[in-house]
Amino acid sequence: MKTHRFKNYEALSDFAAAEIAIAIKEKPSLVLCMASGHTPARTAELLVTKLQQNNIDYSRLQFFGLDEWVGLPPTNEGSCQYFFNTRLVKPLSLQASQCFFFDALSNNLPNECKKMDDAIAARGGIDIMLVGIGMNGHIGFNEPGTPTTITSHVAALDDITKEVGQKYFASPMPLDKGITIGLGHLLGAKKVFLLANGSKKASVIKQTVEGVITEKFPASIMQRHANGHVLIDEEAGALLTHRK
């Protein structure tokens, strides 16, 4: 794992977007798995700009949404799929055949997990995974205590996730379960970027980068990834002991 420090959120987002754009240029059929949320929002916007301005062929890109709130339709503005539809799918005119999202309204969620796992395996695994980090150290909906070998699964949401998750919705939203790609996929991904910005993320970044590796704090497994990259701004890195 390597930690990369940036002066601000814009610089961090620009680096992440450039890395992905270059990777798509080098491998047009790149398997990209991305988180939604406030942190990757600017990366998504900049990725669209870079792909379009540099005439990079993304017609064969294989795009996987990391997770979804169980029970929410993609039309809900706080849903993960809404995030991707508005920021990537529509601006890039991605085809349905190249996009993979959980149907969080399905009455067969285990089958949704199986379809996702099969689709990832059929493409040889994830090339690049870009994730954020929750205030409880979760990645996607891999909540504290999740086994690191797990693939796609349905998770009962941690109280912190239910509370912090309200920020995505205009009015109070009952949040109970999530469906998510698993930590086993993250460890198996060829390259992982974990992004964090702002002072509110400083303590979870310290635990991620310098804390013990434990299932109680899922993001700590980044330390086990040989091609794992933690991208932080000055504020998110403020509590790190090794501040180079």
* Annotation says 138 is catalytic: yes
Task: Decide if residue 74 touches ligand PGA (CB under 6 A).
Answer: no
Q: Are strands 177-180 and 153-156 parallel, antiparallel or unpaired?
A: antiparallel
Piece in contact with ligand PGA (CB under 6 A), picked from 86-94, 110-118, 132-140, 176-184 = 132-140
Instruction: Select which of 68, 143, 233, 234 is catalytic.
Output: 143
The angle subtended at Cα 193 by Cα 122 and Cα 8, nearest 5°, is 150
CA-CA distance, 109 to 154, in Å (whole number)? 7
* Annotation says 19 is catalytic: no
Which residue's CB is nearer to ligand PGA, number 134 or number 182?
134
Task: Decide if residue 237 touches ligand PGA (CB under 6 A).
Answer: no
Instruction: Select which of 68, 112, 138, 233 is catalytic.
Output: 138
Which residue's CB is nearer to ligand PGA, number 12 or number 56?
12
* Annotation says 103 is catalytic: no
Total number of residues that touch ligand PGA (CB under 6 A): 6
Cβ atoms 166, 172 nearer than 8 A = yes
Q: How far is CA 178 from the centre of its chain?
A: 14
Q: Distances from the Cα of 57 to the Cαs of 29, 64, 95, 165, 222, in angstroms?
A: 9, 18, 13, 35, 30
Total Cβ atoms within 10 A of residue 2: 12
Task: Decide if residue 146 touches ligand PGA (CB under 6 A).
Answer: no
- Which sequence positions are flagged as catalytic? 67, 136, 138, 143
- Positions that interact with ligand PGA (CB under 6 A): 37-39, 132-134
